[in-house]
Amino acid sequence: MNVITVKNLTISYNKKPAIKGVNLNIASGSVIGIVGPNGAGKSTLLKGILGLLPFDTGEVKIFGKDIEDSRKRISYIPQREQFDWDFPICVEDVVMMGRYAHLPIVGFPKSGDRQIVEEVLKKIEMDKYSKRQIRQLSGGQQQRVFLARALAQESDVYFLDEPFVGVDAKTEKAIFSLMKELKESGKTILVIHHDLGKVLEYFDKLIMVNQTLIAFGDSKEVFTPELINRTYGGKLTILQKTEELIS
């Protein structure tokens, strides 16, 4: 069964379409990159799939169901700048938020939940910072806390919006190996990535978007100069870069 089905999805802001007529059928067990230039509608597409924006037209199903019925199986890591990092909350509490979907409606975390939080913090090497206020972390550490929260949720589908922006090399490596690990356990991971470097290394499949869907397929097949240029509008700087990337 397809994990995500998108049919004829169009989403506008102030009547101006940001994405138009997008169709996608995504199977489980892969890491999929969403690439395209700034303003191409990547975040809009992701938020649309997540049911966070109203549609002009179209339909999205996750595990064959409406998003509301699949929400517990989905983790979303928004772009870092969209989060209020001044909010007075410590690392451990952010990660515990990942467990809320598993708690009863009126309920408190159980020892099992606390254990999961501890384990994921260890896994991403943030266990020493569990009581630290989130605003006192570096960009890379903040991104790792987000990842820990997503892991604590034990979802089947992960949506990451530009997770590599502003992180250190250590965090980039940690994110990449986590993506691989999740995929190997049959999860589906969608990752927005606006830079063309490492695309072939990071992603099994690519969604190339610039308002409309330019291509969707195995990275090796669609990451071609022609499709890259169509996606990025044939900008000269990108053209030069493309040759380096392909060669």
Answer yes or no whether residue 44 interacts with ligand ADP by CB under 6 A: yes
DSSP line for 110-129: -HHHHHHHHHHHHHTT-GGG
Per the CB < 8 A criterion, the answer to whether 227 and 220 are in contact is: no
- Of the ranges 42-50, 70-78, 152-160, 218-226, which one interacts with ligand ADP (CB under 6 A)? 42-50
Select from Mg ion, ligand ADP, none the partner in contact with residue 3, using the beta carbon and a kind-dependent cut-off of 5 to 8 Å: none
- Determine which helix (DSSP H) or strand (DSSP E) holds 13, and give its type and residue range: strand 4-13
Residues in contact with ligand ADP, shown as a per-residue x/- string from 187 to 226 under the rule CB under 6 A: ----------------------------------------
Q: How far is the CB of 43 from Mg ion (least distance, A)?
A: 3
Total residues interacting with ligand ADP, rule: CB under 6 A:
10
Residue closest to 158 by CA, chosen among 126, 180, 142, 130: 180
Cα–Cα distance for residue pair 123/119, rounded to 1 Å = 6
Residue 95 beta carbon to ligand ADP: minimum distance, rounded to whole angstroms: 26
Tell me whether residue 44 or residue 142 sits nearer to ligand ADP (CB atom): 44
**Is 231 among the residues that bind ligand ADP (CB under 6 A)?**
no
Q: What's the closest the beta carbon of residue 93 comes to ligand ADP, in angstroms?
A: 28
- Cβ proximity to ligand ADP: between 42 and 187 the closer is 42
Dihedral (Cα; 220, 146, 54, 157), 10-degree rounding? 50
Residue number, 44 or 242, with CB nearest to ligand ADP: 44
Of residues 32 and 96, the one with the C-beta less far from ligand ADP: 32
Among 24, 31, 36, 75, which residue sits at the site for ligand ADP (rule: CB under 6 A)?
Answer: 36
Q: Nearest-CA neighbor of 242 among 191, 190, 200, 192? A: 200
Classify residue 201 by burial, with Cβ atoms within 10 Å: 0-12, 13-18, 19+: exposed
Structure token pair of residue 245:
């990337």
Tell the smallest beta-carbon distance from residue 162 to Mg ion (Å).
Answer: 6
What lies within 8 Å, CB to CB, of 139 at 6+ separation is 80, 166, 167, 168
Contact call for residue 18 and ligand ADP (CB under 6 A): yes
Q: Which is nearer to Mg ion, 129 or 159 (CB)?
A: 159
43 binds Mg ion (CB under 5 A): yes
Q: Given the rule CB under 5 A, which of 36-44, 145-153, 165-173, 204-212 is the region that contacts Mg ion?
A: 36-44
42 lies in the site for ligand ADP, by CB under 6 A:
yes
Beta-carbon count within 10 A of 230 CB? 14
User: Whole-angstrom Cα distance, residue 52 to residue 35?
Assistant: 20
